[in-house]
Amino acid sequence: MQPRNQDKAKRVVIVGASSGIGKELALRYAAANCAVGITGRRVALLEEIQKRFHETITVQSFDNTKDDVTNHLNKLISKLGGMDLLIISSGAGYINTELDTTIEEGTVDLNVRSWTKIAVYAFNYFRKQGHGHLAAITSIAAIRGEGRAPSYNASKAYQAHYLEGLRKLALYEKLNIYITDIQPGFVKTAMAKSKNRFWEAPAEKAARQIFRAIARKKKKVYITKRWWLVAQFLKIAPGWIYNRI
């Protein structure tokens, strides 16, 4: 069921929609009669999603870290006839206690460098257009550093702060641009690597709550809702307690 204040017509681009939360969001927006553009590296998976809503889903396959992101997004948006909402759902995270530099640099390349290109592209597109909404799936990991996955938590903190910066920039310039920071806890996706995951939500449930939060133009939302409690604990926990977790 659509939220009451869901816009009647939307052209939605989801970057990183081949699986997990991105896929579920694509299906949900398509079911809400939005024109949906989906991206990802694995074209076969994108085309499988497209088959379910052939008339409303458009595919543009590319690699965020290797390909010309601007060119691909321009092509996709042209096919959609414009863009009202862009959701960044792509990302990577690995347990890396050995501090393998290849893993750390790869995480930074995707979660920071490529992510920033997409966020800047979206903001400037909406700035020129005069309106728009940028939403990004960061993580509750943005709140504190983590010894088992240093680059992942650091990159998510970067994303969260960058989104806050864009929100302030929109206010400074009095722009009709909304920014939503989506911070999930554990969600059952292929990217989830750790073994012990409490309060783990199915991707479909996470997407449902994200869909509603975006429709309500929330500034920040924890997914699922109960993770708000964890977030508050992480913000105030002294180091001697946090370091034992």
Chain Cα centroid distance, residue 230: 20
What percent of the chain lies above the pLDDT cut of 90? 85
pTM of the model: 0.92
Kindly report which listed range (98-112, 169-183, 222-236) carries the lowest average pLDDT score.
Answer: 222-236
Measured N-to-C along each axis, helices 150-172 and 115-129 cross at an angle, to the nearest 10 degrees, of 10
Token pair 């458009």 is at which residue?
58
At residue 200, the pLDDT reads 85
Each residue of 60-95: b (16+ CB within 10 Å) or e?
Answer: bbbebbeeebeebbeebbeebeebbbbbbbbbbbee
* pLDDT tier, 26 (very low <50, low <70, confident <90, very high otherwise): very high
The secondary structure of residue 237, as a DSSP letter, is -
At residue 242, the pLDDT reads 87
Domains recognised in the chain with CATH numbers: 11-242 (3.40.50.720)
